[in-house]
Amino acid sequence: MDAKTVFFYLFSAVLLFAAFRVITARNPVHAVLNLILAFSQAAAIWLLLKAEFLGIALVLVYLGAVMVLFLFVVMMLDINIDTVRKGFWRHFPLAAFIGALIAFEMGAVLMTGFRGMEEPKAAAVVVDAAGKVIPYSNTKELGKLLYTEYLYPVEIAAVILLVAMIAAIALTLRQRKDSKAVSPSQQIRVRASDRLKVVKMDAVQKPVAPAAPQAEPTPEEKK
């Protein structure tokens, strides 16, 4: 067993453990942190498969932006943990069935779908018909493929992410009794008379209390 195989099993084991903790963690913040760990292990597996661009993109996009956004959204949602736990066992049979179905499909693909395929090799340079070496970029070719042949799926994924972001903002900015949010439009339209109101009042003179009589000094104090 070579070092590549050892690292593959190591990353896969940590990935499976983190994915299991995502759905079993009682604290939503802990679930998000485990999801970040799962994404990092998936990126490491991509690197082992010589898909450096996908691995780095997974780290930069999901770990650097999306998961941080999810973490802050989960922290701002103020989820009632007790209510979530009550519905766990009610939906557990359906979730277990869907999980078993996904595991069966993945197992079927892994067992029968990749037989007879050679290991992918990244091309460093391309030689044209005249024998001239043309610089080859995997990132450039992947970008051309995404925005030509797969343009509509990319646009649909972008719209879905936009809708998810708007929904997350709407959930965090919902009206609550303990919320102290101020409308920016009301702040812009504010006037000086709304902030300060001068009230005229008649002057009232309070009677001055008579001064208390001073005690006469004793003979010792006079000396």
**Domain map of the chain by residue range?**
124-172
In sequence order, which ranges of the chain are alpha helices (DSSP H)?
A: 3-24, 28-48, 52-57, 67-77, 81-86, 88-112, 138-146, 151-172, 184-188, 192-195, 219-222
Comparing CA positions, the residue from 68, 46, 48, 49 lying closest to residue 57 is: 46
- Which pTM does this prediction carry? 0.51
In whole angstroms, give the CA distance from residue 142 to residue 54.
10
Q: Region 133-157: what's the mean pLDDT?
A: 81
The tokens describing 2, both together, are: 């070579």
What confidence category does residue 112 fall into, taking pLDDT thresholds of 50, 70 and 90?
Answer: confident
For the ranges 67-71, 96-100, 197-201, the lowest mean pLDDT is seen at 67-71
Has residue 199 got a pLDDT over 90?
A: no
What confidence category does residue 76 fall into, taking pLDDT thresholds of 50, 70 and 90?
Answer: low
The tokens describing 57, both together, are: 């993109």
Has residue 176 got a pLDDT over 70?
A: no
Q: Region 156-185: what's the mean pLDDT?
A: 74
The residue ranking higher by pLDDT, 223 or 74, is 74
Q: Which residues pair with 133 in a beta bridge?
A: 127
Has residue 222 got a pLDDT over 70?
A: no
Q: Region 126-150: what's the mean pLDDT?
A: 75
Sign of the alpha-carbon torsion through 160, 166, 168, 171 = negative
